[in-house]
């Protein structure tokens, strides 16, 4: 097994500080292509976290391990310092990187997540994914019908079903490592491990209709990233970069330029 996570490089010949984009739980690099297109004048790498997308599968996936995966990727590319934008779990991994190796980060954008412990809230999603018998399911539509008994929102099911791919042996399989996601869920939802305050520029972008970055989390934000800005995009929730792409990209570009 290679210890390098998968990444998709855009604009590799461009000048400027490279930008790393990191997706959220159950996601993959292609979820952030809309952001990558907005940064067409600089190198952009969209990564797949371990147990997601095209990256390797592993039994463990603490935030520390995922941040170390990013460090190995930067070393392999010869990039000493980068900008990083992470959504949800990707934001937590970015925050963990800021604790372990702050010298590798120029600027950090954290999209709709905070450095706090979150209560379990993905149980129905995990149950819905588990309920799909990938060995016998005939189509994504059939899988969607099974999942609808657990997950009401069609948009959420559509997003999750991007993980259902054809198996080389026939039938379907989950591209994400569902067993590892279930096994490591406690590590995924916990706060990053605090090592030292990140003194570099940091921006939190939160959705106005989301509860992921609450005002009561300010003390935790100040501890991990003192002096960080918080900007709220109105009229959108946790998937703010998909719901308000123009506003999100404009906000991120203004901070990272």
| Cβ neighbours, 10 Å, residue 116 | 19
Q: Is 18 left (phi over 0), alpha (psi -120 to 50) or beta?
A: beta
| Cβ neighbours, 10 Å, residue 167 | 12
Answer yes or no: are the C-beta atoms of 8 and 29 closer than 8 Å.
yes
- Our answer to whether residue 2 is catalytic in this structure is no
Q: Which residues contact 203 (CB under 8 A, 6 or more apart)?
A: 107, 108, 109, 110, 228, 229, 230, 231, 251, 252, 255
- Our answer to whether residue 57 is catalytic in this structure is no
Closest CA to 202 of 118, 94, 126, 103: 94
Q: For residue 53, give both structure tokens.
A: 């997308």
Q: Measured in whole angstroms, how far is the alpha carbon of residue 114 from the centre of its chain?
A: 13
From CA 227, how far away is CA 91, in angstroms rounded?
17
Closest CA to 61 of 187, 222, 221: 187
- Residue 121 DSSP SS3: coil
Q: Which of 3, 59, 179, 222 is catalytic?
A: 179
Q: Which residues contact 167 (CB under 8 A, 6 or more apart)?
A: 134, 173
Please tell me the number of Cα atoms within 13 Å of 67 on its side-chain side. Answer: 20
- Our answer to whether residue 9 is catalytic in this structure is no
E strand residue ranges, 141-228:
164-166, 172-174, 202-207
Q: Which of 29, 88, 98, 210 is catalytic?
A: 88
Q: Which of 52, 87, 238, 241 is catalytic?
A: 238
Active site residues: 88, 179, 238
């Amino acid at each position: 097994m290679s210890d390098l996570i998968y990444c998709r490089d855009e604009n590799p010949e461009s000048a400027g500080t490279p930008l790393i984009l990191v997706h959220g739980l159950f996601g993959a690099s292609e979820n952030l292509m809309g952001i990558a297109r907005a940064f067409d004048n600089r190198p952009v790498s969209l990564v797949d976290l371990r147990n997601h997308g095209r990256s390797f599968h592993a039994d463990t996936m603490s935030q520390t391990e995922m941040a170390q995966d990013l460090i190995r990727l930067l070393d392999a590319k010869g990039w000493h310092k980068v900008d990083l934008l992470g959504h949800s779990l990707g934001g937590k991994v970015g925050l963990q990187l800021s604790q372990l190796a702050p010298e590798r980060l120029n600027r950090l954008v954290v999209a709709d997540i905070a450095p706090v412990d979150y209560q379990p809230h993905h149980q129905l999603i995990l149950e819905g994914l588990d309920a799909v018998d990938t060995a016998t399911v005939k189509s994504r539509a059939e899988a969607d019908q099974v999942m609808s008994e657990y997950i009401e929102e069609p948009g959420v099911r559509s997003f999750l079903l991007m993980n259902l791919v054809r198996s080389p042996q026939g039938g379907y399989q989950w591209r994400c490592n569902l067993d590892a996601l279930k096994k490591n869920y406690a590590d995924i939802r916990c706060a990053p491990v605090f090592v030292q305050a990140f003194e570099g520029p940091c921006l939190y972008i939160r959705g106005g209709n989301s509860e992921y970055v609450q005002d009561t989390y300010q003390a935790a934000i100040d501890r991990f990233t003192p002096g960080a800005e918080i900007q709220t995009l109105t009229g959108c929730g946790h998937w703010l970069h998909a719901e308000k792409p123009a506003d999100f990209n404009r906000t991120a570009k203004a901070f990272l330029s």
